[in-house]
Amino acid sequence: MNHRGVEFTIAKTAIPAVWQWQFRIGDRIRTGKTETRIDLLAIRRVQLRIDRELKAIGRKTA
């Protein structure tokens, strides 16, 4: 999937309602897990995390 030019992946784990995600911005790879039964909510949470990372990078370069 793609959000604001950042490619990310999200997948179910063996544990019910737990999703594992990963994305890369530049040379930094971020991974994590989120807990929800709704797949669209898991995707949205990853998108929000990407937004936070991009905002932090923007503050550092400004």
Contact 23, 6 (CB under 8 A): yes
Domain of 38, in residue numbers: 2-61
Q: pLDDT per residue over 30-44, tens digit each?
A: 999 999 999 999 999
- Identify the pLDDT of residue 58: 87
Query: With a cut of 70, which residues of the chain have pLDDT below it?
Result: none
pTM of the model: 0.90
How high is the pLDDT of residue 7? Answer: 97
Q: Is 42 exposed, middle or buried (0-12, 13-18, 19+ CB in 10 A)?
A: buried
Structural domains of the chain, count: 1
